[in-house]
Amino acid sequence: MGGGLGEGARPGRGEGVAQVGASGHEQCLLRAQFVAPGAHGVGITVGHGGTVAGRAPARGGTARRCAIVNGPRPTPEGARVTTRPPTEDRPRITSFVHHRARLTEGQQRAWDRSWPVLGRDVDDVVDGSVAYDPPAWFGRTAPLVLEIGSGMGESTAALAAAAPEYDHLAVEVFEPGLAQLLMRVEELGLGNLALLRGDAVELLRARVPEGSLSAVRIFFPDPWPKRKHRKRRLVQPEIAALVASRLAPGGTLHLATDWDDYATQMRAVCDGEHSLVNTAADEPGGWFPRPDWRPVTKFEQRAHLGGRAVHDLLYRRGSAGRTSDHAS
Ligand SMILES: C[S@@+](CC[C@H](N)C(=O)[O-])C[C@H]1O[C@@H](n2cnc3c(N)ncnc32)[C@H](O)[C@@H]1O
């Protein structure tokens, strides 16, 4: 899975490492989506200038990993382009660029102990070398919640602990975030959480059966606050349609963001997806009142410090059934 991250990075899947000059926070820093309808191949771009360097040289320094998800052409900012065979149904392009952050000692120990048991690479699941088999992973069949971008796992672990009757898939491209989540899993003794390293969109497209998820969560998905970055954001019509198709009837899509323009885009995109219904359509602005059970992560804290409001959106697929609050 590793949308290109980690040892499993595989040339030919559109992966590479970007050398960038800009600094940013620990995760989720630079992310680029290339949307050139009709074009083919994979583009690697560097969000704030820089060059694409192919596979990672060594850890540390300024190199950052860049997992290329799919898509046609790079932005014009001078990135080299790798290509892969076109496919008929490849959706929009998404790419992620991260700090090449080292694991802390604690993260590394948790990784060594628990990743072989709880972690899987999206690439392996997508290519079939590892089966997508949640019942086998969890040793039971239970309603399934998938989170796109679990980050450092604060919400993920807390919500999994609060809903033991649900199984949870945390999909993330940022390795230290996954390692931190493993530490939380160990600390809480969670048995209902599995980790997937790589691009959630590819996983959803390739392996997650239609109608199989009770809930999908997308909390503070990416750092593209400016209006001009709208096309680079994760939440786009194709992704909403994809997510909706994987939800069971009555399943929910829960989104949160601290950027007003992104919130407006999320709402417009999801309102435009015919199979999704806004559960808060009668609330002011259509925003879902902030649920007190959604933990306050550092992203939300920063939003408060910056004077930004956080907006939640909760959509339900169709009208059948009802999922619990904790599975929203
Ligand atoms: C701003 S962080 C927020 C993390 C977490 N949801 C939270 O609220 O603390 C967004 C995270 O989403 C991850 N991400 C974004 N798109 C993703 C995708 N398609 N697949 C996997 N991870 C993704 C990024 O790597 C990043 O760590």
Spatial CA neighbour of 59 closest among 102, 4, 16: 102
Under the banding of pLDDT at 50, 70 and 90, the label for residue 225 is confident
Model confidence at 183: pLDDT above 50: yes
Give the mean pLDDT of 294-310. Answer: 91
Question: pLDDT higher for 55 or 98?
Answer: 98
**Spatial distance between the Cα atoms of 39 and 326, rounded to a whole number of angstroms:** 41
97 φ, ψ (degrees, to nearest 5): -130, 130
Compute CA distances 276 → 134, 240, 244, 260, 317, whole Å: 25, 9, 7, 21, 5
User: Over the stretch 104-138, which tens digit does the pLDDT of each residue have?
Assistant: 999 999 999 999 999 999 999 999 999 999 999 99
- Per the CB < 8 A criterion, the answer to whether 287 and 252 are in contact is no
147 annotated as ligand-binding: yes
Catalytic residue numbers read 222
Task: Say yes or no: CB of residue 149 within 6 Å of ligand 1.
Answer: yes
**Spatial distance between the Cα atoms of 291 and 226, rounded to a whole number of angstroms:** 26
Q: Take residue 83 and report the two structure tokens written for it.
A: 């290509």
Mean pLDDT of the chain: 75
Instruction: Give the 3-state secondary structure of residue 219.
Output: strand
One-letter amino acid of 276: L
Give the mean pLDDT of 180-185. Answer: 98
For a mutational test of ligand 1's pocket, the pick from 15, 27, 171, i.e. the residue with the most ligand atoms closer than 8 A to its C-beta, is 27
**Spatial distance between the Cα atoms of 69 and 14, rounded to a whole number of angstroms:** 7
Q: What is the pTM of this model?
A: 0.75
Model confidence at 20: pLDDT above 70: no
**Residue 24 C-beta-side C-alpha neighbours within 13 Å:** 20
Q: Take residue 113 and report the two structure tokens written for it.
A: 């102990």
* Residues whose CB is less than 8 angstroms from the CB of residue 156 and which lie 6 or more positions away in sequence, other chains included: 147, 150, 168, 170, 181, 184, 193
Ordered structural domains, the chain, with CATH: 15-99 (no CATH), 105-327 (3.40.50.150)
Give the mean pLDDT of 143-161. Answer: 97
How much distance in Å is there from the Cα of 285 to the middle of ligand 1? 25
67 φ, ψ (degrees, to nearest 5): -95, 115
Give the mean pLDDT of 182-189. Answer: 98
Percent of the chain whose predicted confidence (pLDDT) is above 90: 61
199 annotated as ligand-binding: yes
- Per the CB < 8 A criterion, the answer to whether 260 and 230 are in contact is no
CA dihedral 223, 228, 232, 236 (to 10 degrees): 110
Question: What is the position in ligand 1's atom list of the atom closest to the CA of 96?
Answer: 25
pLDDT, position 98: 61
Under the banding of pLDDT at 50, 70 and 90, the label for residue 16 is very low
Do β-strands 15-20 and 50-52 pair in parallel, antiparallel, or remain unpaired? antiparallel
Question: What is the position in ligand 1's atom list of the atom closest to the CA of 221?
Answer: 10
Residue 199 burial (C-beta neighbours within 10 Å; 0-12, 13-18, 19+): buried
User: Over the stretch 67-100, which tens digit does the pLDDT of each residue have?
Assistant: 333 333 333 222 222 334 435 555 445 546 665 6
227 φ, ψ (degrees, to nearest 5): -55, -35
Task: Say yes or no: CB of residue 201 within 6 Å of ligand 1.
Answer: yes
Under the banding of pLDDT at 50, 70 and 90, the label for residue 154 is very high
Which regions of 76-188 does DSSP assign to beta strands (E)? 81-82, 94-99, 119-121, 144-148, 167-172
For a mutational test of ligand 1's pocket, the pick from 5, 93, 96, i.e. the residue with the most ligand atoms closer than 8 A to its C-beta, is 96
Do β-strands 193-197 and 276-278 pair in parallel, antiparallel, or remain unpaired? unpaired
Model confidence at 207: pLDDT above 70: yes
226 annotated as ligand-binding: yes
